[in-house]
Amino acid sequence: MVEIQPLGSSSAGNAYRITDGHTALLLEAGIKYKEIQRGVGFRMSEVAACLITHEHGDHSRAAADVMRAGIPVFTARGTAEALGLSGHRLRVVQAREEFTVGSWTILPFEIEHDAAEPLGFLLANRSGDKLLFVTDTYYVRYRFPGLTHIMVECNYSIDILNANIAAGRIPAVMKSRLLRSHFGLDHVKDFIRANDMSRVQEIWLLHLSDANSDAEFFKNEIQKITGKVVRIADR
């Protein structure tokens, strides 16, 4: 059984602990290292590896600290170079080249974001679970059969964003960046319609904007079109 624990999920910082009961992983390290320690009950030695999607601070802030703690960090070369990461705890990975950590087989893939070499990750284990982790992108070019768990960014609603711009609460220039770099509610709906949901057990909506989202509305909308358990990562 896959267990997903958000340690942080916002523009302030993102990090998630996942485990299948055999191998625990950290997805992202975008909060302070002490917060990661507290989030995992100070059992950092049980974390086998950390996967980082890209170099922006809200996803990578504690990467060097995680490596100093003896945990290998898996990320793209462009991300490692942008962060200045090096050393024997760094594991450089490439899109569409599988690697294994404990009971997980992990396939990185390209995403679309304003970063050096951003990645999403598809994680599969020996029990037949398939977990998709996608954040900070405006488009996913691939389709994924047989998913059991989905962790996907749902940063904003275009209607809420437009209302905030009209009211002067958000600068209009922010809209163009959001549309070119983040998954919104409509993107999530399109992604769900394009993929096989038959085996999905739960969907986690990640990285909701403080100003441009509505957690309960997002949850209800995705539940309506999937009939699946939908959870909001709101730490």
The CATH number linked to 224 is: 3.60.15.10
Here the tokens at position 181 are 């770099």
- Contact (Cβ atoms closer than 8 angstroms) between residue 89 and residue 67: yes
Total number of domains constituting the chain: 1
In angstroms, the Cα distances linking 218 to 6, 158, 184, 187, 205 are 18, 12, 10, 12, 8
Cα dist from 225 to 102, 149, 215, whole Å: 35, 16, 16
Q: How confident is the model at residue 235 (pLDDT cuts 50, 70, 90)?
A: low
Q: How many residues are listed for the chain in this entry?
A: 235
pLDDT (tens digit per residue) in 156-197: 999 999 999 999 998 988 888 888 888 999 999 999 999 999
Q: 81 lies in which domain range?
A: 3-232
pLDDT digits (tens, 9 = 90+) for 94-114: 999 999 999 999 999 999 988
**The pLDDT value given to residue 173:** 86
- Report which residue type is found at 121: F
Query: What span, in angstroms and rounded, lies between the C-alpha atoms of 36 and 22?
Result: 20
